[in-house]
Every structure is written in structure tokens, then in C-alpha cells.
Amino acid sequence: MLITEILSRNAEMYGSETCLTEINLDLQERHNVTWLEYELIENNPAGEYRREMTWQVFNEKANRMANLLLQRGIKKGDKVAILLMNCLEWLPIYFGILKAGAIAVPLNFRYTAEEIKYCLDLSDAVALIFGPEFIDRMEAILEQIPRVKTLLFAGENRPSFAENYDRLTANCSSAEPGIKLTDDDDAAIYFSSGTTGFPKAILHSHKALMSACWTEIKHHDQRREDNFLCIPPLYHTGAKMHWFGSLISASKAVLLRGVKPEWILKTVSEEKITIVWLLVPWAQDILDAIENKDVNLEDYELSQWRLMHIGAQPVPPSLIRRWKKYFPDHLYDTNYGLSESTGPGCVHLGTENIHKVGAIGIPGYNWEAKIVDEDGQKVARGQIGELAVKGQGVMKCYYNDPQATAEVLKNGWLLTGDMARMDEDGFIYLVDRKKDVIISGGENIYPVQVENFLRTHDAIKDAAVIGLPDDRLGEIAAAIIELKEGHKCTDEEIKTFCAPIPRYKRPRKIIFDKILRNPTGKIEKPRLRARYGAANLVADQTKK
């Protein structure tokens, strides 16, 4: 069965049931009214602040989108890009593209005009649907994307260079488009996070998307009565593949626009959320808000919240210990994955293995994993090597980039670029990104180990450790430290705190600043190295 067929099944079996709700608390706060009052405001189109959709409407909207694309001459295998903020329309548009036999190409809503053009060109996109937030960026590149023949606009105040998505789809048939699809057909192109320059285009099949469905539901046991809170951007595999658990179980999900701790807790309370996936910074913000008394847990109904899972980056064990202090009854899981492996789940901790917090876990459902050396040979337990994974969720290739594909796909195994080790029980621990390892005086320093140690300091909210050039040692470790609100700390205090760790691992330079992270929560170390590496060079030259 394909994911498009699961949607059609849900519409047939549970058509009148709500499947998606969009919550925009920023709008509610601006109107300063209660949730119920906001829904009753006269001339409030489609609720505006809180909108719902049933499985039947979801499927009909997807079919209308598919039939529109087919009318416009979009053929099986053509690429159709999506440039939208999280909204109720996002998933029906995505599924409409798939039902047409086309390849969905989600774009990061933080891309600059130049990056949008780059990704449209790289993916060979022939159509694009975009929202009002991107009008200026699209205008800047209109003359540079001649291949994109169909431009659809979703929203109000349509620009003259695009057509109205709502009006056009409303006049299309809601019947199934009838395009024959197979497991091996191309389904979607996702883009790598771009933390090492311009992103790569990752091509996935329908089989890979379906594999993500089964992995998710096996790991987190989604049931019909569950309600999943989806906060991360839908253009990324992480949010989408976790939502696939809601799709296959025909359960509810809520799209929350915003990440304020009080918004998350309010939504969990009011919408009776049972499962929440968080990124590390959001979990930290919730805990900080509790400890600073900015929120009071007694103000919310949270008893139905059964599972908090987290991922997209190494998770500090200290964070989970803090979380369990305030939410002792929560099931907890860590999810590891990358866009090349259809997002999260190729390795996961498992809710039954909380005694192994700190590990990313064991191979996920239908996945294999191993740690290998530079020659691709398995290393002994406890030794550090590169993590490799294998399963139906592995990408087909980097689209239009055979050289990059050959570098990471080896006999069905995907080299992740993450350095890791496996303990005697078979649990895998991330050490660091291969490209982020610092070599100082011939010694390898793995920044994640130092970052996890630094985050145990009471005053430190977040930390990033990078290598900076050094004439004598080649590189030195520098710690960028973001302090908790209202806390103060000095260089010497941090250096004293680091005394228990081996001397060669201790940060030799301390920088107090905000940590740069990309939309999926990963630390943007190339940007940090560029920023502070240049500053370090200027300082050295000034001394000379």
C-alpha cells in the first residue's frame, strides 16, 4: 500500500472525523480573546486562528490539486515545488502532487531568493506553489526560473505573476485522479539541511515514504485516540515522517504555528494532545519557563500527554534528567535520522530503554546499523567510527549529483557522516559530525562530548564547540556559550568548571553569544566557524 492509498482509505472509513487542526496563537494574542470567542468573531474567515479539516476534505483537496496539475500538463515524474509556511493547506497540496504521479519538492521557508532559485534549478522543478510570505523573494528571481511554467499562489492578495490556487482547485474534480503508482516510483525530493553550504537534493521513492510510516508507528504505537502536536516545519522530513504515524493510524494531529513554551503547553492542554515531538531548544525553553515561573504547570491539563520524543540533533542527557523531574510519567524516546534516510527512525532509543539516555539507541524497525572505519570495515565495540545505516528508507540518490551519491552510498549502506561508537549492549552513541571533529595537537576532540559537559552548568542554556585555527596546535577548541536569562558567568569560571575533563579537550577560548541553529535545531557550525574564525584571525593580526 502507498501513502496516497492510506489517505484514500482514511477518507472512506473515517471521512467525517477531524484529522488536522491548525492553531495560530499569535493571531489570538493580537485579538486578546478566548479561543471560543475568537471562533465566533463575525466575518472571521475559516476560523483564521483555529481551523480544522476532516479526512474526507483532506482527500478531496488532494484530489483537486492532483487534477489541476494534470490539467496543466504536469506528467508523471515532473517536479512540483512547495514553498509554504506550516498551514492547513500544506499536506493536501503535498498529497495532491503525489497523487498526480509528480514528485513533491518541499522548500525551506527560510531560503533566500538565491537559495530558492538554486533548489528549483537543481530539482528541475516545472511548477511551484507558494504563499504570501514569499512574494518579494519570488519577484526577485522570476526572470531566472524559465523552467517553472506553473506558478500557483495560496493566500490573499495574489501577485499578478501567479494564479490563484484556491479558485483553480475549487473548479477541479474531487475524484481520484487514477494515476497508477508503484513502490519504486520517485515520490519526493528533500533538501539537506545546508549546514555545509548549498543543500543537496535527496530523492526518495514511494517505498521509502511508506517505510517511514511503518517505522514511526512501530516506534511510538500511535492509536486512533492519539493526537499528535506537530510544531517543526513540514518541508523537513522530521515533522512529516512523524506525522505519518498519525496518517497510518488515522488519528488526529495539530499544526501549531509558534514555539513559545506557553503556546505549546496551552495547545497540549486545550487540544488534548497525547504525543509531542520537540527539538532540543524548545524543550530547554519549556524547562526554563517552568523554573523561571513564567509558566505554571498547574494551569494546564496535561494528564493525557503520554509521550515526548526528541531528536534532530544530539540530546544532552542532562536535559532529559531535567525533563523527567517535571514530567515523570512521560514515555520518552530519542529519534536519530537524516533526510537521506527518510528522516527520523533509522536509529532510536525506544521508550523501554530510558536507562540508556545519552545513546541515540539501536537500529530502528526494518533498519540495520553498523560503525565502520575509513575502509568501510566494522570497528570493534567501543571504538569510534562512522555510523552507516541500511533499510528501505535510504534515498535513491542525490538528484543530479552522481559523485556525491557515490561518496555516501556503498552497497546499499548509507554513510551518515556522523562519528559514533557502539557499547557492549549494542546501543549507539553519537560522538560528533565527521566534519566537525577538531584535531588539536594531533588529538581528536569530539565537540558533542564537551558540549554535553558544558550544558550541565547551572548558568548555561546552550553551548557549541568549534575548532579555530591555531599556528602551534593546528586547531584549538572554542566554546560559544549561551547563558540562561538572568545568569552571569566569566571566562575563568567556565575554564574552572571544565577542569574535570581531560586537558586537551578543554575549550581554550570562551565566547558568550547566542547559538546559531538552523530551522531543524541543528547547530550551524560552519557559520560559527566563519564568524568566530574571522574574528580570531583579526584579533591575532591586531596583536602582531
Model pLDDT for residues 83-106, shown as the tens digit of each residue: 999 999 999 999 999 999 999 999
DSSP secondary structure letter of residue 252: E
Q: 539: which 3 cell numbers?
A: 584579533
- DSSP letters of 102-135? -EEEE--TT--HHHHHHHHHHHTEEEEEE-GGGH
Residue of 101, 23, 90 whose CA lies nearest to 58: 90
Distance CA 40, CA 27 (A): 14
pTM for this predicted structure: 0.82
Q: Return the pLDDT at 58.
A: 98
Amino acid residing at 95:
F
pLDDT lower than 50: segments of the chain: 31-47, 195-196, 537-544
Q: Return the pLDDT at 522.
A: 74
Packing angle, helices 3-14 and 206-220, rounded to 10:
60
Residues 100-123: b if buried by 16+ CB within 10 A, e if exposed: bbbbbbbbbbebebebbbbbbbbb
Distance CA 268, CA 257 (A): 13
Q: Return the pLDDT at 357.
A: 87
Q: Return the pLDDT at 313.
A: 64
Helix (H, G, I), strand (E, B) or coil at 189: strand
Dihedral pair phi/psi, residue 135, rounded to 5°: -60, -50
Q: Return the pLDDT at 197.
A: 56
Residue of 482, 468, 477 whose CA lies nearest to 523: 482
Q: Return the pLDDT at 536.
A: 53
Q: Return the pLDDT at 24.
A: 87
Q: Which residue has the cell 492509498?
A: 5
Q: Return the pLDDT at 311.
A: 75
3-state secondary structure 325-344: HHCCCCEEEEEEEEHHHCEE
Alpha helices in 15-82 (DSSP H): 25-31, 35-40, 55-71
Alpha helices in 342-446 (DSSP H): 402-408
Residue of 486, 432, 431 whose CA lies nearest to 458: 486
Packing angle, helices 3-14 and 237-249, rounded to 10:
40
Q: Return the pLDDT at 42.
A: 40
Q: Return the pLDDT at 47.
A: 44
CATH code matching the domain that covers 439-543, chosen among 3.30.40.10, 3.40.30.10, 3.30.300.30, 2.130.10.10: 3.30.300.30
pLDDT in tens, 175-219: 999 999 999 999 999 998 654 457 899 999 999 999 999 999 999
